Structure 1
Amino acid sequence: MKAGRRALVMDDIGRRITSRALVAGDKVPSIRSCAARLGISPSTVVEAYDLLVADGVIEARRGAGFFVADKPQPFAVAETGPQLEREVDPLWVARQSIDTGEEKQKPGCGWLPADWMPVSSLRKAMRSMSSARIDLLTNYGSAKGETGLRRFLSRRLHDQGLAADPDQVLLTGSGSQALDLVCRMLLKPGDTVLVDDPCYFNFQALLRAHQVAIKSVPYTALGPDLAKFEAALTEHRPRLYLTNSALHNPTGATMSAPTAHRLLTLAEIHDLVIVEDDIFSDFEPDVSPRLASLDGLERVLRVGSFSKTLSASFRCGYITARPDWIEALTDLQVATNFSGPSPMVASLLYSVLTDGGYRKHLDALKTRLVACRGDAIKRLGELGFSPWIEPRGGFLLWCELPGQHDATELARAALQQGLVLAPGNVFSVTQNMGSFMRFNVSQMRDPGCYETLDRLLTGTLNT
């Protein structure tokens, strides 16, 4: 019993150190304060601290107390922020989604089925790599990435109303790496970042890795709640706002033009930088208002990738920003990755994007998703699920559960039946989305998915 209480103290101090809440030289909580907070005796805390001293984790200074030892300590992202149930912990959910084998159904994942991707075009481009010039096969990529792909992206952005020269486009190893580079450039530990509630769960995981404070604003069908957004800017003075403008993840909503204009006005008043993750833009039936386009890249950066429409295996992302920020981001990429993304990958993607078939591929995807979305709304509705909105495109559907069902409990039970779901609270900083679930309509073609959900909701799995 006493050993368990000692372990409680040691785990508490260990988490504070691995999450960087305490760093080398910091004073650890006094024996009395630690005992009071954990509800154990001071003598037990003394014994635990002595064990930590013996392990070299902390050191005792006569007359001054205990301090974190001046030695390298591993950083554990999982120990930052609130300790959540694993079904709603962003890191665990991300790992569960990508590590689970194909034998399990994944209506909670965030990508299209493999057989929906342009595999023939990808194979053709791969075959052409066998006769590519030798430097493409053997050398590092350039610091900003393959020129042809940057020019393609520049033309594409112009068509969407955003004037950005190729030199204002930086290719990165992935969309996630693009966000990481932006965070490295603009944030320091202790800064505050604003996100939507709900928001893409890996935004939270990434920001935790950068040791910043995460605050959230309720998201509506037209964008963030502007009154609460303004209040959050005044109260928390965030450095950054991270969002999806179009086909928002997880809700599928699209920001309205009035909301976008007012948001940019508030950003100017409060000196706020905005990062616009535009990864779902190619699924839109037509282009909606974009913060980067309206702002002209003055205080908005746009990031994206082709992992949702072409391939998650050929990793390549991009950042579009004003010239001075692109230069700083390029230096960061060289410092952390030595070069831009693999020139083979960038060239392969450029080939697929420009071979004449990409637009047809997108049109086919959009048509297919309209049918899948209608079918999913109908079938889920028969089970009592209510769509928050009907998205204008994409594959995400944000639904409220029937009755008093809890999404986390449903996800936990579903996993035991080989069904990977995405419960609402994994997307919520405030943990106020327990009655919601995000579904991927493209991953719900098997009627068995709905049959399992029905049995889980009615409690008839074992009958």
Structure 2
Amino acid sequence: MASPNGSLVTQLVREIRGRIAARELAPGTKLASIRAQAAARRVSKTTVVEAYDRLAAEGIIESRRGAGFYVAGHPPPFTLAEAGPRLDREVDPLWVSRQSLEMPEDALKPGCGWLPPSWLPEAALRRALRTVARGSAGALIDYGSPPGLAKLREHLARRLNGFGVPTAPRQILLTDSGTQAVDLLCRFMLEPGDAVLVDDPCYFNFRALLRAHRARVVSVPYTPTGPDIAAFAQVLEKHKPRLYITNCGVHNPTGAYLSPVTAHRVLKLAEQHGVTIIEDDIFADFEAEPSARLAAFDGLERVVQIGSFSKTVSASLRCGYIAAKTDWIEGLTNLKIACTFSSGQLSAELLLAVLQDGSSRRHVETLRARLADAMSQANTRLRGVGLVPWVMPRAGMYLWCELPEGLDAADIARHALEENIVLAPGNVFSPAQTAGRFLRFNVAQCANLRIFEFLQRAVR
């Protein structure tokens, strides 16, 4: 029976770990043999074996074949400077991601791109874990098929058809994320130096990915109804881009919507100039009524649609998709094998279980209601400190706000880090660097009034 302080294995692990941390056991010291340790403590040899195995798995001790177990070298001391954000980091397309992911858990993150954990379906995820654990062992330990879990592709095909995008399961390739979907498409279509068109402003990771592919990024100003069509035509004529990468539904970062008229004009120009469009639909569930989608008008002929569920289900379930014309899926599947070999079957099984859970529809409806309330509150508070939204979104989680004349968003974001607040300055989203007076706010992350107290001081 375990003691009040835990099992015999846990007690032994804790004691040895403590002696090593206190420098009583120096690096290179040989531990007592399994037989001697068991005899000295009057426990079974199995108990000692398990304790040593745990310590070895942590890297605290190491096994030397035929010689026993030894204390491993101590790691270099961890400093407080390593725990905090890099205040001198360049404000580039990776700035918001690095700061948001590296800041401590208690930091305020109105600049990040995800919902608070308490807003996501934890109970459904736990049910899904139990369901998958009781199912076939293949989901837990085997490689998945390269195209991805067939049942999930069938589910996604029904979902896309519901959004007006005619799709068959064979036209869907599962990926590890929406980001990997863009990465695969860039590998599939681009050569270094090719021009790629993005919105200005656009999702900052589009810029970071294209830079990694050594593409030549060109941009077109975004308006409240979509890309500026006159500028769009000029860029296509001048730079002859291979791809146009954009959001559909709720635009990131502006919260604007693509109008049907603009969508038709974009598709007509893309056809004239031989441009393929990658349309990111990651925010689909935030809309009660689907807005215009290029893939719906085009039927997946010139448009490729991608997405994932990191915003509405879980960022830990790395599962996205590509929906494209059938003859492209074969080539993309081969490329996926070359890059990642297989699909994340466990993530796909878990995601499917959550999407088929009886609470899924209610969860999405609750999210929309909470976001609408948060949008209203954040809008009122931001206006109260002098920040004006560029457009009022009909749905979603972003407000794209302009600072008063003479203020620089990057400077304000750097000062915010000193108060444990992560903001998203406008120029990380702007290829032309024309958004120096803008900040993007995630309204779901704006509940803490300390954010607005800081902004009040910053805009004085």
* TM class by smaller structure: 0.7 to 0.9
Post-superposition offset of 1:295: 0.5
How far apart, CA to CA, are the structure 1 residues paired with 2:111 and 2:96? 9
| Contact in 2 for aligned 1:192/1:236 (Cα 8 Å) | yes
Post-superposition offset of 1:188: 0.6
How far apart, CA to CA, are the structure 1 residues paired with 2:292 and 2:246? 14
| Contact in 2 for aligned 1:387/1:399 (Cα 8 Å) | yes
How far apart, CA to CA, are the structure 2 residues paired with 1:130 and 1:218? 49
How far apart, CA to CA, are the structure 2 residues paired with 1:135 and 1:159? 31
What is the CA deviation profile of residues 411-447 of structure 1, one whole-angstrom value per residue up to 9, with x for unaligned ones? Answer: 0111111110000000000101001100000001011
Name the residue aligned to 1:163.
166
How far apart, CA to CA, are the structure 2 residues paired with 1:134 and 1:114? 29
How far apart, CA to CA, are the structure 1 residues paired with 2:250 and 2:137? 41
| Contact in 2 for aligned 1:87/1:93 (Cα 8 Å) | no
Mapping 1:56-455, distance limit 5 Å: 86-340=89-343, 342-455=344-457
| Contact in 2 for aligned 1:194/1:216 (Cα 8 Å) | yes
- Matched residue type, 2:190: L
| Contact in 2 for aligned 1:108/1:438 (Cα 8 Å) | yes
Structure 1 counterpart SS, 2:369: helix
Post-superposition offset of 1:403: 3.1
Name the residue aligned to 1:74.
none
- Matched residue type, 1:382: G
TM-score for the superposition, normalised by structure 1: 0.79
Query: Aligned pairs, how many?
Result: 373
How far apart, CA to CA, are the structure 1 residues paired with 2:285 and 2:349? 20
What is the CA deviation profile of residues 60-97 of structure 1, one whole-angstrom value per residue up to 9, with x for unaligned ones? Answer: xxxxxxxxxxxxxxxxxxxxxxxxx8453112332111
| Contact in 2 for aligned 1:86/1:93 (Cα 8 Å) | no
| Contact in 1 for aligned 2:96/2:422 (Cα 8 Å) | no
Indicate whether 1:456 and 2:458 are aligned. Answer: yes
How far apart, CA to CA, are the structure 1 residues paired with 2:96 and 2:225? 27
How far apart, CA to CA, are the structure 1 residues paired with 2:248 and 2:226? 8
| Contact in 2 for aligned 1:316/1:346 (Cα 8 Å) | yes
How far apart, CA to CA, are the structure 1 residues paired with 2:385 and 2:121? 34
How far apart, CA to CA, are the structure 2 residues paired with 1:136 and 1:351? 12
| Contact in 2 for aligned 1:389/1:398 (Cα 8 Å) | yes
Post-superposition offset of 1:448: 1.3
- Matched residue type, 2:457: R
Structure 2 counterpart SS, 1:399: strand
Post-superposition offset of 1:322: 0.1
Post-superposition offset of 1:99: 1.6
What is the CA deviation profile of residues 182-238 of structure 1, one whole-angstrom value per residue up to 9, with x for unaligned ones? Answer: 000000101000000000000000000000100000000000000000000000000
How far apart, CA to CA, are the structure 2 residues paired with 1:393 and 1:359? 17
| Contact in 2 for aligned 1:217/1:225 (Cα 8 Å) | yes
What is the CA deviation profile of residues 266-314 of structure 1, one whole-angstrom value per residue up to 9, with x for unaligned ones? Answer: 0010000000011011101201111011001111000000000000011
How far apart, CA to CA, are the structure 2 residues paired with 1:188 and 1:119? 42
Structure 1 counterpart SS, 2:161: helix
State the identity %: 54
Cα RMSD (Å) of the superposition?
1.0
What is the CA deviation profile of residues 112-138 of structure 1, one whole-angstrom value per residue up to 9, with x for unaligned ones? Answer: 000000000001111223212112211
**Unmatched runs of 5 consecutive residues or more in structure 1:** 1-84, 459-463
| Contact in 2 for aligned 1:400/1:435 (Cα 8 Å) | yes
Structure number with larger C-alpha Rg:
2
- Matched residue type, 1:186: M
How far apart, CA to CA, are the structure 2 residues paired with 1:268 and 1:168? 21
| Contact in 2 for aligned 1:87/1:426 (Cα 8 Å) | no
**Unmatched runs of 5 consecutive residues or more in structure 2:** 1-87
How far apart, CA to CA, are the structure 1 residues paired with 2:378 and 2:450? 13
How far apart, CA to CA, are the structure 2 residues paired with 1:238 and 1:373? 36
How far apart, CA to CA, are the structure 2 residues paired with 1:383 and 1:436? 14
How far apart, CA to CA, are the structure 2 residues paired with 1:334 and 1:256? 38
- Matched residue type, 2:433: Q
How far apart, CA to CA, are the structure 1 residues paired with 2:253 and 2:226? 12
How far apart, CA to CA, are the structure 2 residues paired with 1:367 and 1:312? 21
Structure 1 counterpart SS, 2:94: helix
How far apart, CA to CA, are the structure 1 residues paired with 2:93 and 2:212? 12
Post-superposition offset of 1:103: 1.4
How far apart, CA to CA, are the structure 2 residues paired with 1:347 and 1:193? 34
How far apart, CA to CA, are the structure 2 residues paired with 1:455 and 1:220? 31
